[in-house]
Structure 1
Amino acid sequence: MSDSPWPTPAKELAGYLRSYIQQMGLGSEDPGVVIDRYHTPDIEWYNDGTRLDRDRLVAHARPARKNAIALDVEVHDALVAGDRVAARYTLHSTMRKGRRLSNEMYLFGELAPDGRLRRVHSTSRDIPDQAGQGWSTDATQGQSTEATKG
């Protein structure tokens, strides 16, 4: 994995968060390939107390890809220490019917020796729509831009 062109969780946690979420939520590549790029085959992802293994993570990508047209990840904090990672970030989503969602995410993980994630514990909370408060999403690129204030 060290010669991969993709950011690994061990080497660039913020880059991983942006790349993984974009590829899983909006990408055309098979979700299983994306998961295997960043996670070990025995991945265990606990989100708000619900355990997701590799198969459930793959299944989670299908509705996300069907409903989301843009995703933006604002990484506020990202820390890698040995085989542990921690991050606080906000995920902004624009849905096909125009609805915008924002979720504040807290992630704690354990890395495998090859730098991929093997275990994740995350929790999230919905936050009010941030539209008009400094960000907007370019639906074609899925990147954050400063909104014009007037």
Structure 2
Amino acid sequence: MSTTDHPTAAEDFAGYLRAYYADAFDGTEPVEEVWDRYHLPEGTLRVNGGVWDRKKILGEARSRRSLRAPHELHVHEVITDGRRAAARYTVSTPMVWKVQSVTEAAVLAEMAEDGRVARMTAFFSSGLGWSSGAGPYDSGARPAPGTSPAAPPAPGTEPTPAQDPAHYLRAYYAAGYDPAVPVAEAHDRFHTPDAVHQVGGRVMQRSAVLKALEDGRKRGHRYPVDVRETLREGNRFAAHYLTSRDGNPDRLQEVLAFGEFAPDGRVRVVRFALQPGHGAA
């Protein structure tokens, strides 16, 4: 088939996700051929903090295909930066009545010169949900019109660390858990007053975030941040980083963050996808 039927991840990351899942779940070709069409055979895949080898990857694909069940894939957000991309999406499978098996995914990938995925870090979290009849969320998957990575802050405002995703994350965590900085100041320095935070599956606005910061301070949390990678496209960004509530290197948690800048450089939406199963015995 043409590359239109099988888009590479570098050409169209959302299209690659749709094509790969369709071929892997619904197709009849050997799963080895499907995987290699979209990914380098010797590439690396890290899932929920662990490395998956080729045998495990193909085994999961065969297992899902054996169900012979339809699937729906909704791409919520895609951010591209050169040969790298990050995305949030949902894969659901109908079960009985309106109950569905739902997998929430957050991924950050790097593509090879031939356009296939060479490296990917992915979080997959599965559970049961209800069919709502909602359609795809692609309308929110692109940067806002007229924005660019080099867009200056609004006239009369000081440049803020939020214009650099790595600086934003380090500085916000540091101020948020510094008892010498009022929690309202720590929040408002980096976020608009109406900013929405999503931590795992919990959506919080300003008052809930302030309370969470206060509670964390009472427990002595610190959360130093080790930023491994950031992407930015227009007013949107993605980041992969490690942190722990006490700075213990043996208890590090991986996080994939997806955010959106306001015109003044502060963040107005940020979603933190947490490593599933972190801390489980």
| Equivalent residue number for residue 129 of structure 1 | 129
Cα deviation, 1:60-118, whole Å, max 9, x if unaligned, reads 111101124111110011122112110001111235x7762112110001111111101
Secondary structure of the residue aligned to 2:114 is: coil
TM-score (norm 1): 0.78
How far did 1:12 drift? 0.7
Aligned residues: 133
Matched, 1:22 2:25: no
| Equivalent residue number for residue 35 of structure 2 | 35
Secondary structure of the residue aligned to 2:3 is: coil
- 1:8-87 to 2 correspondences below 5 Å: 8-87=8-87
TM-score (norm 2): 0.44
Root-mean-square deviation over aligned CA pairs: 2.2
Cα deviation, 1:116-140, whole Å, max 9, x if unaligned, reads 1011101122355131x2249xxxx
Task: Structure 1: give runs of 5+ residues left out of the alignment.
Answer: 137-142, 144-150
Q: Is the alpha carbon distance of 1:43 and 1:94 closer, same or farther for their aligned partners in structure 2, counting shifts above 3 Å?
A: farther
Q: Is the alpha carbon distance of 1:90 and 1:113 closer, same or farther for their aligned partners in structure 2, counting shifts above 3 Å?
A: same
CA distance in 2, matches of 1:93, 1:44: 27
CA distance in 2, matches of 1:127, 1:45: 22
| Equivalent residue number for residue 120 of structure 1 | 120
| Equivalent residue number for residue 139 of structure 1 | none
Q: Which one-letter code corresponds to 1:103 in the other structure?
A: T
Secondary structure of the residue aligned to 2:129 is: coil
Cα deviation, 1:20-72, whole Å, max 9, x if unaligned, reads 01211221111011111101121211111231233322121111011241111
Higher Cα Rg, which structure? 2
Which has a greater percent of strand?
A: 1
Task: Structure 2: give runs of 5+ residues left out of the alignment.
Answer: 137-281
CA distance in 2, matches of 1:57, 1:26: 16
Percent identity, please: 31
